[in-house]
Chain A
Amino acid sequence: MWETVFFWIFAAGAVLSSLAVVLIPRNAIYNALALILDFFFLAGIYGLLSAHFLAVTQVLVYGGAIMVVFMFIIMLLNVKDANEGAIRIQVHHFLAVAAAFSFLGLVLGSLASLQSTPQDASQIAAEAAPGQPIVVQASSSVPGLYSSLNEAGLNQRYGEVIQSYAEEEWRPADGQHLPGSDRIYPKYREFDRSQKVVVPPALLPAPESHVADRDPDPFGTIEPLSILLVNRFVISFELTAILLLAAVIGAFIIAKKRL
């Protein structure tokens, strides 16, 4: 209930302040202030989407750092918009409005058509005729990525192999050919009980007290985000550091009096 109310408040505020950013003539300071307002409304929407960390980052980085630089440049240059004071309507303004509206119509139209298509396996199963086999695409054209890897898709893909296991036609330990492929599966290695098995600490279960302290729904908080950031995305994270360094040096060099 409250989520809905706040969504409409934030959405209306975001759209109106975005229009103010684009359409207020004369002094660019007003546009910058409208842009700050817009960033705050968008931070509210991020909060509704349970992206708590990003909502705070939005206010700090956009509303703080970036807008301070904008304000600084606007006040430093003190540009009087002689030609933009009164907007002279020209042909390219009509073309621009037409382009923006047709882009919006294209996106909203494709969204509406996507909304009416079945989204997951249960919906597909509900819409299929009874007694008909359901064909679900189990693999995507991108290697390593599986789209809608559901029960029907898995069954279509691996049903034959599982059937051959169940009927004891062959076992993977026999080192035979997999039916329908030329891959040979090796025999399993004997398990040596005399050797001690060392479990790496990362694979050990977390202590009970730790689990109890944890937020029941950590989605969007800083903990899962930081775990992703320093594991799967660690290379991009480090490259961002290089990018920011390059940006700082570049800004210094470009802004110098003589290039």
Chain B
Amino acid sequence: MEPTLFHYLALAAIIFSIGLLGVLIRRNAIRLFMSIELMLNAVNLTFIAFSKFRVDMDGHIFAFFIMAVAAAEAAVGLALILHLFRHFKTVNIDDASSLHL
């Protein structure tokens, strides 16, 4: 069966749901970031699938910008995790519930 737009969108939805599950059940900040990357990738897949089936390159541009934003987010987020670990000696986000520095 030739893959249609429906197949690609369903695959993206499945990957996004797995990422959502990871964000909800994991309490380790690093794993949480990985799940967020997973969700960003699923959204990228949606954009590229729509781009292909509409024969319109705009979706590729959006996916490209999402990649740039993901790179920036990873750099800042991991710096935040590093700081969190220095301060609380843990990366469990439930333990880091205090606003006090």
Decide whether A and B are members of one complex: yes
Which residues of the other chain, B, contact A254 by a CB distance below 8 angstroms?
76, 79-80, 82-83
Q: How large is the interface on A (under 10, 10 to 19, 20 to 34, 35 or more residues)?
A: 35 or more
Which residues of the other chain, A, contact B44 by a CB distance below 8 angstroms?
42, 54, 58
Question: Is B101 an interface residue when CB atoms closer than 8 A count as contact?
Answer: yes
Q: How large is the interface on B (under 10, 10 to 19, 20 to 34, 35 or more residues)?
A: 35 or more
Binary contact readout B1-32 vs A (1 if CB under 8 angstroms, 0 otherwise): 11100111111011111111110111110110
Residue of A nearest to B52 (CB): A49
Per the bound structure, the CA–CA distance linking A248 and B79 in Å amounts to 10
State whether A45 and B6 are in contact (beta carbons under 8 Å apart), knowing that A65-B71, A66-B37 are contacts in the complex. Answer: no
Interface residues in A132-177 (C-beta closer than 8 Å to B): none
Which residues of the other chain, A, contact B101 by a CB distance below 8 angstroms?
259
Is A255 touching B79 in the complex (CB atoms < 8 A)?
A: yes
Which residues of the other chain, B, contact A224 by a CB distance below 8 angstroms?
57
Residue of A nearest to B7 (CB): A7
B64 to chain A, nearest CB (A): 7
Which residues of the other chain, B, contact A99 by a CB distance below 8 angstroms?
20, 24
Which residues of the other chain, A, contact B55 by a CB distance below 8 angstroms?
219
Per the bound structure, the CA–CA distance linking A70 and B22 in Å amounts to 16
Question: Is A86 an interface residue when CB atoms closer than 8 A count as contact?
Answer: no
State whether A51 and B60 are in contact (beta carbons under 8 Å apart), knowing that A107-B13, A243-B68 are contacts in the complex. Answer: yes
